[in-house]
């Protein structure tokens, strides 16, 4: 955030605190300002889902309802005090978030959005029908006074409860978003396959983003019942869910200030124009369209552009390379399978896409520490093999055994964690993230701190972040990109993007690195650099599976070459043998290579 903007925000936040001294009008303080604070708590949580994780939820009114009704029922029927009721509301919100998050794992884009709409509608219907608990359409009315020992949060005093809670919620969202969790959300948003292959569990993070967001919605619900001392089903309509989204988008996603501004607008605007209440929906619709067309980044984006920016800080100033020369660490093998048998073996590995058998009965053996090249004409099944080895595709039959253990329905995340890292034939970086952050995503497995470490920025969380940053710099230095650490990945020239992908793969402490055409599109100087890199990796004990069309590179670095044609292995052996193999020459190498081999 630019410094001018930060100051402005601090001043505004402080001024806001004194609002009840400026005006005693209960309408402004109690109804408007408290409502803004409560909406901000919810919208900041919604931002985690929409802004950071890139999913759309149109069901947050349902989560808000879950919190509100849980708290209302507990304080009226069970006579619980405010605090335990609010905690229960947060827990209930989180539980409902889990329910909402489960489809997020299977669906995406419009289908996910529609499933959240359905969720919101179901909650509203249940609230209406479960009359014994919720009083149905009448709503729950006799919400008791909100007191904390001697403190009384009735009337305008409610503001002194919701305002600090809003600041704490914003702080919590900020901390999550700027931690390794936030990086995981963002990586999954940009490319979920690349994120999974870099060791991030889509399952874990998609669920946790919904749960966190829903917990905040639950808190907002528990506070909301104290504004009118009433809660009824009509409040939690689909329109309210849409209103939250409008507040988020108009204010600007991924911005705390945007969350506050957006909520201010959606709460205050209808009051200002209350004579035109009939046109309220239309006004909000127009606001949304206006934002989408004219104000990308919302109000916060506009302010950011208008105010002088702080000179872009070098993100890496606090950490230097970790001194270990390369930052490369090879994962230790468990006692049982260490040094026994081959590193990787596929057994009759087969995959068919409809009638096309892309890989057919492949037996591939990769020994520990060797450079193994997989070559063959375009469309012969090389990339498909990589996808099978890394859990991106499931084999139709056959299996992969790695380090003595068969993969059973392994996800790309599990494969990465067991020690296979890869690059992609079509470079799959996280383009909006910096070069350094891309490598930090690969180092995700080095973070063990939980949510509490993230929220409280414990010494452990700080240490893990610092260690990861210095290791990331060492890895970048190893591939020659350290000077570009703060640059956005998408701005790198193509050859450097390929090198960055290799650094991200090495960050995962793999035992086997799979490089899918690392030299494609590179200049001859860059190809020589890749050659040098592979030699260094081998010297450190890593095994490399190299898919490549540049035969000089393949023949110079490989210990073993396997040749595919139409999905089948037609030869395997040392480079010199492969160059002389008639089937290989006919299928792929052609007579030039024959001549080359004859010369040698």
Q: Are 53 and 209 in contact (CB under 8 A)?
A: yes
State how far Cα 434 lies from the chain centre.
15
Residue 237: name its binding partner from Mg ion, ligand ADP, none (Cβ under 5 to 8 Å by kind).
Answer: none
How many residues sit close enough to ligand ADP to count as binding (CB under 6 A)? 11
CA angle 574–575–577, rounded 5-degree value: 70
Compute the distance between CA of residue 163 and CA of residue 350 in angstroms, rounded to an integer: 60
Residue 339 CB, nearest distance to ligand ADP (Å)? 32
Segment near ligand ADP (CB under 6 A); pick from 215-223, 267-275, 382-390, 590-598: 382-390
Q: Which residues contact 274 (CB under 8 A, 6 or more apart)?
A: none
Q: Binding to Mg ion by residue 520, rule CB under 5 A? A: no
- Per-residue x/- marks for Mg ion, 383-412, CB under 5 A? x-----------------------------
Residue 236 CB, nearest distance to ligand ADP (Å)? 42
Residue 384: name its binding partner from Mg ion, ligand ADP, none (Cβ under 5 to 8 Å by kind).
Answer: ligand ADP
Q: Given the complex with ligand ADP, which of 353 and 494 has the nearer CB atom? A: 353
Q: Given the complex with ligand ADP, which of 75 and 392 has the nearer CB atom? A: 392
Residue 418: name its binding partner from Mg ion, ligand ADP, none (Cβ under 5 to 8 Å by kind).
Answer: none
Residue 383 CB, nearest distance to ligand ADP (Å)? 3
Q: Are 48 and 55 in contact (CB under 8 A)?
A: no
Residue 548 CB, nearest distance to Mg ion (Å)? 10
Q: Given the complex with ligand ADP, which of 226 and 382 has the nearer CB atom? A: 382
Ramachandran quadrant class, 252 (left: phi over 0; alpha: psi -120 to 50; beta: rest): left
Q: Which of 42, 223, 232, 228 is nearest to 127 (CA)?
A: 232
Compute the distance between CA of residue 151 and CA of residue 142 in angstroms, rounded to an integer: 20
Q: Binding to ligand ADP by residue 381, rule CB under 6 A? A: yes
Q: Given the complex with Mg ion, which of 208 and 383 has the nearer CB atom? A: 383
Q: Binding to Mg ion by residue 134, rule CB under 5 A? A: no
Angstrom distances, CA of residue 530 to CA of 39, 382, 542: 52, 19, 15
- The length of the chain is 600
Segment near ligand ADP (CB under 6 A); pick from 117-125, 151-159, 373-381, 582-590: 373-381
State how far Cα 505 lies from the chain centre.
17
Angstrom distances, CA of residue 277 to CA of 227, 246, 249, 273, 282: 21, 17, 22, 7, 10
Residue 218: name its binding partner from Mg ion, ligand ADP, none (Cβ under 5 to 8 Å by kind).
Answer: none
Residue 381: name its binding partner from ligand ADP, Mg ion, none (Cβ under 5 to 8 Å by kind).
Answer: ligand ADP
**Buried b vs exposed e over 330-368: b needs ≥16 C-beta within 10 Å?**
bbebeeeeeeeebbbbbbebbbeeeeebbbbebebbbeb
Q: Which of 23, 27, 31 is nearest to 228 (CA)?
A: 31
Q: Binding to ligand ADP by residue 379, rule CB under 6 A? A: yes
- The 3-state DSSP class for residue 357 equals strand
> Of these, 53, 316, 346, 384, which contacts ligand ADP (CB under 6 A)?
384
> Of these, 133, 425, 445, 467, which contacts Mg ion (CB under 5 A)?
425
Q: Which residues contact 540 (CB under 8 A, 6 or more apart)?
A: 326, 328, 330
Q: Binding to ligand ADP by residue 382, rule CB under 6 A? A: yes
> Of these, 53, 383, 423, 446, which contacts ligand ADP (CB under 6 A)?
383
Q: Are 315 and 487 in contact (CB under 8 A)?
A: no
Q: Binding to ligand ADP by residue 176, rule CB under 6 A? A: no
Residue 547 CB, nearest distance to Mg ion (Å)? 7
Q: Binding to Mg ion by residue 379, rule CB under 5 A? A: no
Q: Given the complex with Mg ion, which of 370 and 516 has the nearer CB atom? A: 516
Residue 301 CB, nearest distance to ligand ADP (Å)? 38
Q: Given the complex with ligand ADP, which of 274 and 426 has the nearer CB atom? A: 426
Please count the helices (runs of H) and the strands (runs of E) in the chain: 27, 13
Please report, as residue ranges, which positions from 321 to 360 form the binding site for ligand ADP (by CB under 6 A). 353, 356, 358
Residue 380 CB, nearest distance to Mg ion (Å)? 8
Question: Residues 53, 58, 64, 65: what is their CA dihedral angle, to the nearest 10 degrees?
Answer: -150
Q: Given the complex with ligand ADP, which of 384 and 423 has the nearer CB atom? A: 384
How many residues sit close enough to Mg ion to count as binding (CB under 5 A)? 3
Kindly list the residues in this chain that would bind Mg ion in the complex (CB under 5 A): 382-383, 425
Kindly list the residues in this chain that would bind ligand ADP in the complex (CB under 6 A): 353, 356, 358, 376, 378-384
């Amino acid at each position: 955030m630019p410094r001018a903007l930060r100051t402005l925000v601090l001043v505004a936040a402080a001024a806001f605190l004194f609002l009840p001294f400026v005006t005693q009008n209960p309408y402004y303080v109690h109804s408007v300002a408290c409502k803004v604070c409560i909406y901000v708590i919810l919208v900041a949580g919604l931002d985690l889902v929409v802004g950071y994780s890139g999913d759309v939820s149109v069901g947050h009114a349902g989560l808000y309802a879950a919190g509100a009704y849980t708290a209302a029922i507990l304080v009226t029927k069970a006579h619980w005090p405010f605090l335990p009721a609010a905690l229960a509301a947060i827990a209930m919100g989180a539980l409902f978030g889990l329910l909402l998050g489960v489809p997020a794992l299977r669906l995406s884009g419009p289908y996910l959005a529609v499933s959240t709409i359905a969720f919101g509608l179901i909650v509203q219907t249940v609230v209406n029908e479960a009359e014994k608990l919720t009083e149905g359409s009448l709503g729950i009315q006799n919400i008791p006074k909100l007191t904390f020992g001697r403190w009384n949060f009735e009337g305008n005093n409610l503001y002194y409860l919701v305002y600090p809670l809003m600041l704490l919620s914003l702080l919590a969202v900020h901390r999550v978003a700027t931690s390794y969790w936030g990086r995981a959300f963002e990586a999954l948003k940009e490319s979920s396959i690349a994120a999974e292959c870099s060791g991030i569990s889509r399952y874990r993070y998609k669920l946790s983003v919904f749960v966190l967001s829903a917990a905040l919605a639950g808190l907002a619900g528990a506070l909301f019942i104290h504004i009118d001392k009433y809660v009824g089903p009509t409040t939690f309509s689909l329109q309210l869910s849409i209103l939250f989204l409008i507040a988020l988008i108009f204010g600007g996603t991924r911005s705390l200030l945007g969350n506050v501004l957006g909520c201010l607008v959606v709460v205050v605007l209808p009051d200002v124009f209350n004579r035109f209440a009939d046109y309220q929906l239309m006004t909000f619709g127009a606001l949304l369209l206006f934002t989408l067309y004219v104000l990308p980044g919302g109000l916060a984006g506009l302010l950011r552009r208008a105010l002088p920016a702080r000179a872009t800080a070098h993100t890496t100033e606090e950490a230097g390379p970790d001194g270990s020369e390369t930052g490369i660490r090879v994962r230790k093998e468990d006692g049982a399978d260490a040094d026994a048998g081959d590193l990787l073996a596929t057994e009759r590995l087969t995959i068919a896409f409809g009638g096309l058998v892309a890989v057919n009965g492949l037996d591939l053996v990769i020994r520990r520490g060797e450079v193994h090249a997989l070559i063959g004409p375009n469309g012969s099944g090389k990339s498909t093999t990589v996808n099978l080895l890394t859990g991106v595709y499931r084999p139709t039959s056959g299996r992969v055994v790695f380090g003595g253990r068969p993969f059973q329905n392994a996800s790309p995340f599990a494969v990465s964690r067991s020690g296979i890292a890869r690059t992609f034939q079509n470079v799959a970086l996280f383009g909006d993230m910096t070069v350094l952050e891309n490598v930090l995503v690969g180092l995700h497995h080095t973070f063990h701190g939980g949510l509490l470490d993230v929220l409280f920025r414990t010494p452990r969380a700080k240490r893990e972040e610092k260690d990861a940053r210095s290791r990331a710099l060492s890895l970048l230095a190893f591939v020659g990109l350290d000077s570009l650490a703060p640059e956005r990945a998408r701005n790198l020239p193509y050859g450097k993007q390929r090198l960055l992908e290799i650094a991200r793969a090495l960050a995962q402490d793999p035992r086997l690195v799979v490089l899918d055409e690392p030299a494609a599109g590179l200049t001859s100087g860059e190809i020589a650099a890749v050659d040098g890199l592979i030699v260094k990796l081998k010297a450190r004990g890593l095994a490399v599976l190299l898919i490549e069309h540049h035969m000089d590179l393949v023949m110079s670095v490989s210990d073993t070459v396997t040749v595919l044609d139409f999905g089948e292995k037609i030869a395997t052996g040392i480079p010199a043998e492969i160059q002389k193999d008639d089937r290989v020459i006919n299928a792929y190498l052609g007579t030039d290579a024959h001549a080359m081999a004859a010369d040698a």
